[in-house]
Amino acid sequence: MAATQQTGPGSIPEMIKKKRDGARLEEAEIRSFVQGLTEGTVQEAQIGAMLMAIRLQGMDLGETETLTRALAESGQHLQWPEAWGGLLVDKHSTGGVGDKVSLVLAPALAACGCKVPMISGRGLGHTGGTLDKLEAIPGFSVVQSPEQIQELLEHVGCCIVGQSQELVPADGILYAIRDVTATVDSLPLITASILSKKAVERLSTLVVDVKFGEAAIFPNQERARELAQALVGVGARLGIRVAAALTTMDSPLGHCVGHGLEVEEALQCLEGGGPTDLRDLITQLGGSLLWLNGQAATLTQGVAQLGAMLDNGSALGRFQAMLEAQGVASDLAQALCSGSPAQRQGLLPTAPFKEELRAASEGTVQMIQALPLAQVLHELGAGRNRAGEPLHHDVGLELLVSIGQRLSAGEALGVGVGAAEDLFFL
């Protein structure tokens, strides 16, 4: 329990009540709340109450900017050599099912000459987190000091790391509690969380993949558009060039869902293969970044340049170098990046049980609903119900069909893997 209730211009309960009742929080109040997070003087119950008050009452653009700056200033800002000016870029997704884009895009952009200091997050709700996927690779460390991050960018060109006591620690606290308090879909909290991490990276350009649909944080396009506008607006106030893409999330992205399986599918894409929808999204987002950052004359050229890095092995080489630089044993990294699919399965977490899902009758696949699939996998251990809860990286599902495909009765729809029998009895 916290030793004190007072952290600045007003008590925490007073600030919670003020926001709960729909009033605007002043800059000093927001900064006081964030200071209390980092100093440990705000109780977890109070943090949850404040998050819910913000979720229900919202924040205006000024409040959101202040919260973003306060979160960013709760830790260190990364410092870069002057020669890197104009090369620092990043991408962020608001979260989806089967979204392993960052694992491919960061090394592909590095192969194009960019510097990509990607500070990512863990899973929120039913969506998978980039850090959780990478931790399915034995030895991979998402905790890197600012000095280590600079070294990674110097020698590899990219890194994918998490928040720490040095980098945006206050957001790390809020992020974990949002996941277990039904406040994931708060527009100002999403905006502040994303942009606080990007502010400390001192980027030139950021592209945000704002998803909408049944399995997205925002089911409808209008709410997603509001978030996109907030990200662009607050980003401009912070001096970051932000472009936002609106993409659908009704069906899973790619064929695989689940941490270990998604790493395998990312490797297929890094080899120039993989599902078409995954490759298309990666090349479009990456091409947009290259174009907006002045590293490609047109969007079309940016897309082609990014795709070439996937096809010629350059992106895969950067990915292997990133794995080794972030703690993965060299022989394991090499085996993952050069082995066959069967060999890779033996190197990543493997579930003891597999179960095929089969079509009950003849027909045509009309839709593949990402949300119920993700919810089942979440209950099987792929997601968290409590902050800090360990995950089962071996739980997952590989889809064997696509929308529009004709099926016979008994034909396989997908293969589920997990730690218990009767995986999909639900």
Is 18 labeled as catalytic in the residue annotation?
no
Tokens, residue 405: 């495909």
From the list 19, 31, 91, 384, the catalytic residue is 91
From the list 127, 193, 247, 283, the catalytic residue is 193
Is 17 labeled as catalytic in the residue annotation?
no
Listing DSSP states for 74-103 in one string gives: TSPPP---GGGTTTBEEEEE---SS--HHH
Is 93 labeled as catalytic in the residue annotation?
yes
Is 178 labeled as catalytic in the residue annotation?
yes
Distance CA 108, CA 405 (A): 32
User: Please, what's the largest Cα pairwise distance for the chain?
Assistant: 68
Listing DSSP states for 1-64 in one string gives: --S-SB-SSSBHHHHHHHHHTTPPPPHHHHHHHHHHHHHT-S-HHHHHHHHHHHHHH---HHHH
Q: Kindly list the distances between the CA atom of residue 18 and the CA atoms of 29, 56, 381, in Å, as whole numbers in the listed order.
A: 10, 12, 38
* DSSP tag of 309: H
Phi, psi of 162 (to 5 degrees): -110, 175
Tokens, residue 228: 């996109």
Tokens, residue 337: 């990046």
Is 91 labeled as catalytic in the residue annotation?
yes
* DSSP tag of 386: S
Residues forming a β-bridge with 246: 210
Distance CA 144, CA 134 (A): 14
From the list 19, 31, 92, 392, the catalytic residue is 92
Distance CA 341, CA 311 (A): 18
Report the alpha-carbon angle 180-43-62, nearest 5.
75
Q: Kindly list the distances between the CA atom of residue 146 and the CA atoms of 108, 151, 168, 406, in Å, as whole numbers in the listed order.
A: 22, 9, 12, 52
CB atoms within 10 A of CB 319: 26
From the list 7, 64, 102, 130, the catalytic residue is 130
Is 193 labeled as catalytic in the residue annotation?
yes
- Beta-carbon contacts of residue 385 (< 8 Å; ≥ 6 apart): 180
Find tokens 């309960």 and name the residue: 13
Distance CA 167, CA 200 (A): 8
Phi, psi of 182 (to 5 degrees): 60, 35
From the list 55, 133, 178, 259, the catalytic residue is 178
Is 90 labeled as catalytic in the residue annotation?
yes
From the list 31, 115, 122, 198, the catalytic residue is 198
**Which sequence positions are flagged as catalytic?**
90-93, 130, 178, 193, 197-198
